[in-house]
Structure 1
């Protein structure tokens, strides 16, 4: 659907236009769209609602923290640069995988407020006024003044959007469909620079995916691995048997037998979401032959090297 400006769009037409058309140098508009959906869903009262930039920037932090620090989803669509939000997160949190949960990490590290303020300052001043076509401020009103085709940053007191009650009602009522459409477009954009399994699930369930118990695999693995740790080959005590993802769960985002090994608690804790050595890759390929999972050997090698390319670091295993 091409935007002509001849007639006013419906809410549905406008939302689909925003997420599927227009300039796409980064994913900020998807993040803002997700925020509007999630925020509207949380509201009880359907009325015009003032939302300050601080609330939006905190949502941006959570969305991109998981993509960068947990899933290592590449955002560098231009060869010599990356979105500012990723640079900001890396400057505060580093560029390595973080094993802690979002809440636990920021409970230990007291710079969350500084981080959100910087995201507010550097990342919102363009996406907020440009998110929707100028002719129709259907979803919200903002306080950015346009001067010579550029938007002037509003004063601190005016750093808010006014989300319309009618828009809130629409977003709440159609949340499931709109959210799925937005996540699909976000994933399609990220596919340009990522080869990562379950990309849609990673974006859709930021921090909310529950890990399944791996206990059901223990009996099978005990028969194959002779009650020894896959990494250090020590004998495993009954009270010290862990089932570990050979390729980090944060990358494969799934529980499959071909990617599971037995481990002692020491190796399991030490390995965390690091990649094992290539010698261990050969070992698990041989192990999978015993499990009659030969057809996965090519896949596990491809997963392994793609995971390494995505930025997951190697440990001494």
Structure 2
């Protein structure tokens, strides 16, 4: 996975204010068009936004995404949804198409039926994982990839040029930047329409009814188990809490997402840290102060220069993806004037030093 880069920042100017308004107008038009027979378009738009955060840059450069990248996101989104939903009435796998069940759901339900309870367990078998990605990539190529940019029956190419035979797409100049900037808005709108379509599908009505937990089931913060990473993280940090620097104690050591899970769901090793329970609970869902960021960047530079042996997604287990996500998160926090966590109940404002620390 790689973002196309430019020789200088001026080579890819940022979109103008009018261009950004036009972009949001196109997103709105796509989501309000009403020509939806399955949830794939919502998943694809969400995947493009998430991958722009993970792989895009802070300029207006185009960004290349392989269909395997996008397929990996489909697995992450649909895995929980391929489990039975016990809502207002009958229990069963929610229908995600107005016709027969969506093929991605059938595929992942089949994987779950053989005892694979988590995406991590699926990834643990490289051949099985690659087979799933290949099959989902084919579905993406044949269905939502060319249909996403059709509004009222006419093509509106504002995200990426489409080649039905390609194994990758390239986001047009300025698109990755705008998906990063408007990430909460784009993903929020896509998920709202996704949930609305599921409620409207006749086959789901006995299961869904007026269930208030549907959103949590579809998009909730169901984290993959990560405590098994504790010994490795403790060793990489020489037995010290990343935040306070004191010796970690048995029975009081937590695994924390350095970039909070609530901001971006990134479970790869570079985003996990070992911390005292007290520090972790005090930090909550906040970004850590720049002094902690500096230690995190240094740890990752030493520990994750290369992907670990047997990694099924090498790009996400090296430090570059984590740096890009962190740069997006800290820039967003800085733009919003949000405070970051220092220690205990103390917070502070960003100084701007994070930009130098997070150069990729």
TM-score (norm 1): 0.53
Q: Say whether residues 1:142 and 2:157 are aligned partners.
A: no
Give the aligned length: 189
Q: Say whether residues 1:179 and 2:193 are aligned partners.
A: no
CA distance 1:199–1:165, shift in 2 (3 Å): farther
Query: Which moved further from structure 2: 103-112 or 167-176?
Result: 103-112
Q: Say whether residues 1:85 and 2:104 are aligned partners.
A: yes
- SS, match of residue 170 in structure 2: strand
- SS, match of residue 161 in structure 1: strand
Q: Say whether residues 1:30 and 2:59 are aligned partners.
A: no
Give CA-to-partner distance per residue, 1:262-289, whole Å, 9 cap, x none.
xxxxxxxxxxxxxxxxxxxxxxxxxxxx
Q: Mapping of 1:191-202 within 5 angstroms?
A: 191-192=199-200, 193=204, 194-195=207-208, 196-202=211-217
Map of 2:178 onto structure 1: 170
- SS, match of residue 34 in structure 2: coil
Offset of residue 69 of structure 1 = 2.9
Map of 2:300 onto structure 1: none
Q: Mapping of 1:21-170 within 5 angstroms?
A: 21-45=33-57, 46=59, 47-69=61-83, 71=85, 73-75=93-95, 77-78=97-98, 81-94=100-113, 100-107=117-124, 110-133=127-150, 134-144=154-164, 154=165, 158-170=166-178
Q: Tell me, which stretches of 5 or more residues in structure 2 are unaligned? A: 1-20, 86-91, 226-360
Offset of residue 102 of structure 1 = 2.0
CA distance 1:176–1:100, shift in 2 (3 Å): same
- SS, match of residue 162 in structure 1: strand
Map of 2:318 onto structure 1: none
CA distance 1:78–1:126, shift in 2 (3 Å): closer
CA distance 1:171–1:123, shift in 2 (3 Å): closer
CA distance 1:189–1:209, shift in 2 (3 Å): farther
1:31–1:60 CA contact under 8 A, matched in 2:
yes
Larger radius of gyration: 1
CA RMSD of aligned residues (A): 2.9
Q: Say whether residues 1:190 and 2:209 are aligned partners.
A: no
